[in-house]
Structure 1
Amino acid sequence: MADPYAFWRIAREQAPVFHSPRLGYWIVSRFSDVREVFQDTDTFSASISITPLKELCPAAVEELVKAEMAMGPSLVNEDPPVHTKRRQHVRNALVAPRRIEAVRPRIRELANRYIDGFIRRGHADLVADFAWEIPALVAFAVMGVPDEDVERAKEFSGRLALFTWGYPSDQDQTQLAAGMGQYWTYAKEHVQRRLTEQTDDYISELIRSWRSDGNEELFDENYLITTMMNFLFAGHETTTNATANGMRALLENSAQWDALCADPSLVPNAVEEILRYSSSVIAWRREVVKDAVIGDITIPAGSKVLAVTGSANHDESVFPLPERFDITRRNARKHFAFGNGRHLCLGAPLARVEMQIFLEELSRRLPHMRLVEDQTFSYSPNTSFRGPDHLLVEWDVRNNPVEADWT
């Protein structure tokens, strides 16, 4: 996980489709093949996309039973035709332009509040001190979590990539399951509250859609709870990791960081290049429901596929000089960081806005920031989500460009 790209380059050249006995998955690494897996939903089912790789130990199961957790299907692991019917309503509730615009001031306020907390210190961990909590707080705002519940809800939003896409120890798996059970309980309470009284938030919008004529069979209360949980998980750790990956790439390529600080108009494309160059989501899983051929390899029905989007984003046939980080790259937005096809991430517009605002405020207030030398970057050991656990930076407070940040 520290540097998977060198291995993936070899895979694309020598064995672009191969079977991993350790994982029990077929690994697909080329851009065109990954795109085929995403787009052919008749052959490659999303049903296993969020099924834990490691079977739950008895203690973990007990934690979920204790919370009466009954997590059902959601958009991420549904296939057409039910996925198609539900997606339109979930998308309209989540990414309506007015909803994204309404949350912009909240994102900027949070970014500056967290920067205020460390800017006079001269050093920070951009994960723990900045990127870890803000995406969760933004997600809570979109879902309509009241301010007085934020601290309680935040307790349950831990690192869950290891739970679903890794092989945690039984002890770690049990602790993560306990957190999921607690969040399920909170999500259930929140949905029930909104069933009684809707406001202008994501969950309320879904409820109104559900109660519209003809949609009675589309959702149920359990689906709303599951959707609320998945939105937090999908929008929290992924945006945290993408932000940390991006700041590492920018600061390791100081000329790119300097250019961004000098010209904020570069920010939107810089976000796309970050997502291509060092995506926070590097693979998705699919189940083969009928015999398939990828490249010249036959994959039998019943097999499992790991579509490595991180490798596809570095495919030389699509992205010239893919190992070069270039915030002016013309086709950077062609990346698969948000998936592709029917399962394109619905939260992508919100994630882009968050990352843009983070870069704007960090470059405005800390253009002289630099990476702490000789630090070791550690990553959660899993197949699909990638971002450093810590990102240590430092700067000379006397050079803070905003007067209020040093007086």
Structure 2
Amino acid sequence: MYLENNAVSTGKCPFHGAGSEFKPFDQTYWADPYPFWENARQNEPVFYHPELNYWVVTRYADIKKILADPATFSSQILKEALVSLSPKATQILREGEVNPKSTVTNDDPEHKKIRRPINFAFVPKRVNEMESKVRTLVNEYIDRFIHKEKADLVADMFFEFPAEVLFEFLGFPKKYLSEIKQLSEQRMILKFGNLTEEEQQNEAHAAVDFWRLSKNMVKEVADAEITPDNFLGDLLRYRNGDDNILSLEDIAGLLYGLLFAGHETTTNLAGNAFRTLLTERHAWDKICADTSLIPNAVEEVMRYNPPVFYWRRRALKSVNIGGVEIPEGGNVLLVMASSGHDEAMFEDPEKFDIHRINTKDHLGFGFGKHFCLGAPLARLEVRVILEEFAKRLPNLQLVEDEIKPIVANLFARGPKELWVKW
């Protein structure tokens, strides 16, 4: 029935070439997806995908327009799994009372209410205070594997490092670190993967565990005799014991979001940065010779090979995007990675250029009201990682035959393993 309604509302058949050719979970596509999106931008920049039941948007200007218009395009779709969950998985989540409030998944006025305390706590001072701690931590990780002949940078550093930084920033006990990393990966698969009913049930239980752990972590810090001088302490001071301002469950919901987005994406960004820079060897040699080039190199990675490949919205009314009518209630898949390769925005976009003048205009961290809160911290982490590697391991190179295939999903893209030698 939905397909029939869409066909009527657009006045034409929604089935097009790109819609039938797009195989989002196929490993062949996922290994190198950019040629497909180059073809789509040129020939069918907005198309309907019947299997996913999503309208897919590929061009920079169209994606930016959608992100800038939260009154028309709702973020609440992000509360839902990409693939409809089975009744049993839904029951598990409902019985586990997994309903956290988040800036990412809410529209105004709820978004504004939740974002205000985060803006109160997530200030530049807090991020800047982290640099020396991040640099020390980077070198501790390097010290653990530098004596070896080779290392898997994902397993040996990028998997846990961003979470450890985040825990330090938020003020959470590190005893939960490994558990949170594992639960985060399961949560991503549940929300953005293509699972069997049995797999959905397993990952739903993991989501319940994640939510309960978030609440327990907040309660543990809130019950401490002294309010800590960190991000979580700032949220507790903002709350000032008043549930009408911000309840402990509200804080747990904020952390439920940050504990996922705040490190999974940085893990992928670090992996993509090293894989890209070491493949584009001239760029690696340049940043080793001149580390002042690193900040713009990080932005170019965000444009060229971003960690968040897709994002989602739902149309609250019928709207024309790129000459295509998206019906009221239509699901919209934003191909964020395609926007960074848009020829209309970036000259010679398939070229990786760390000197690119307008690379900061990428949409890798989003745009508008929902711009990524953690962008300053992610930029800091990857910049410091690159600075210390450039100083200590300038001869780093990929072990090409030991790069494990990327796990297919409709959210993030980054190497599962990244073997290097020096």
Q: Give aligned pairs, total.
A: 391
Residue of structure 2 aligned with 1:46, choices 54, 75, 87: 75
1:305 aligns to what SS in structure 2?
Answer: strand
Aligned to 1:308: 335
Counterparts of 1:56-205 in structure 2, within 5 Å, are 56-57=85-86, 60-61=89-90, 64=93, 68-94=96-122, 96-151=123-178, 153-154=180-181, 156-197=183-224, 198-205=227-234
The 1:387/1:160 distance shift into structure 2, 3 A limit, reads farther
The corresponding residue for 1:400 is: none
Bigger drift between 331-340 and 163-172 goes to 163-172
Query: What amino acid is the match of 1:74?
Result: S
Counterpart residue number, 2:12: none
Structure 1 range deviating more: 368-377 or 70-79:
368-377
Question: Structure 1 residue 281: deviation in Å?
Answer: 0.4
Which residue pairs with 2:411 in the alignment?
384
Letter in 2 for 1:36: K
Q: Is the 8 A contact 1:136 1:157 kept in 2?
A: no
How far apart in 1 are the matches of 2:180 and 2:326? Answer: 43
Tell me the distance in 1 between the aligned counterparts of 2:338 and 2:165. 30
Whether the 8 Å CA contact 1:139–1:235 is kept in 2: the answer is: yes
Is the 2:187–2:206 Cα contact (8 Å) retained in structure 1?
Answer: no
Could you say if the C-alpha distance between residues 277 and 78 of structure 1 is closer, same or farther in structure 2, counting changes exceeding 3 Å? same
Are 1:26 and 2:52 an aligned pair? no
Q: 1:92 Cα deviation (Å)?
A: 2.5
Secondary structure, aligned partner of 1:318: coil
Q: Which amino acid aligns with 1:110?
A: L
The range that moved more, 334-343 or 190-199, is 190-199
**C-alpha separation in 2, matches of 1:173 and 1:368:** 44
Q: Distance in 2 between matches of 1:81 and 1:384?
A: 26
After TM superposition, give the deviation of residue 78 of structure 1 in Å: 0.9
Secondary structure of 1:160 counterpart: helix
Change (3 A) 1:50 1:322: farther
Q: Is the 8 A contact 2:299 2:360 kept in 1?
A: yes
The letter for the 2-side match of 1:284 is W
Cα distance in 1, alignment partners of residues 49 and 257 from structure 2:
28
Matched with 2:274 is: 247
SS in 2 for 1:27: strand
The answer to whether the aligner puts 1:225 opposite 2:225 as a matched pair is no
Q: Greater CA deviation, 272-281 or 138-147?
A: 138-147
Q: Distance in 2 between matches of 1:123 and 1:174?
A: 38
Match of 1:237 among 260, 264, 271: 264
Counterpart Cα distance in 1 of 2:149 and 2:62 = 46
Secondary structure at the counterpart of residue 48 of structure 1: helix
Match of 1:341 among 368, 372, 378: 368
Q: Gapped runs of 5+ residues in structure 1? A: 396-407
* CA displacement, residues 50-97 of structure 1 (integer Å, 9 cap, x when unaligned): 42112334554565467x343233100111222123323212312x12
Whole-Å separation in 2 of the counterparts to 1:290 and 1:332:
33
| C-alpha deviation, 1:219, in angstroms | 3.0
State the alpha-carbon separation in 2 of the partners of residues 342 and 357 from structure 1: 28
Q: Percent of aligned positions with the same letter in both sequences?
A: 40
TM-score, with length taken from structure 2: 0.88
- 2:41 corresponding residue in structure 1: 12
Q: Deviations over 1:244-303 (max 9, x none)?
A: 011010010111100011111111111100111100001211111011011211111011
Partner Cα separation in structure 2 for residue 161 and residue 346 of structure 1: 19
Is 1:279 the counterpart of 2:310? The answer is no
Bigger drift between 126-135 and 55-64 goes to 55-64
The unaligned stretches of length 5 or more in structure 2 are 1-29
The structure 2 residue matched to 1:353, chosen from 365, 380, 403, is 380
Q: What SS does the aligned partner of 2:254 have?
A: helix
Identify the residue that residue 268 of structure 1 maps to in structure 2: 295
Distance change in 2, residues 1:305/1:157 (3 Å): closer
Q: Which amino acid is 1:92 matched to?
A: F
Shift of 1:157: 3.9
Contact 2:45/2:59, CA 8 A, preserved across alignment: yes
| Mean Cα deviation higher: 44-53 or 79-88 | 79-88
The answer to whether the 8 Å contact 1:158/1:176 transfers is no
Counterpart of 1:331 in structure 2 is 358
C-alpha distance 299-267 of structure 1, shift in aligned 2 (>3 A) = same
* Superposition TM-score, scaled by structure 1 size: 0.91
Stretch moving more, 271-280 or 218-227: 218-227
Of 278-287 and 199-208, deviating more is 199-208
State the shift of 1:122 in Å. 1.5
**Alpha-carbon contact 1:60-1:173 (below 8 Å) kept:** yes
The answer to whether the Cα contact below 8 Å between 2:100 and 2:256 also exists between their aligned partners in 1 is: no
Q: 1:295 to 1:220 in 2, by over 3 A?
A: same
Query: Following the alignment from structure 2 to structure 1, what is the Cα–Cα distance between the partners of residues 281 and 44?
Result: 35
Measured at CA, do residues 149 and 139 of structure 1 come closer, stay the same or move farther in structure 2, by a change above 3 Å? same
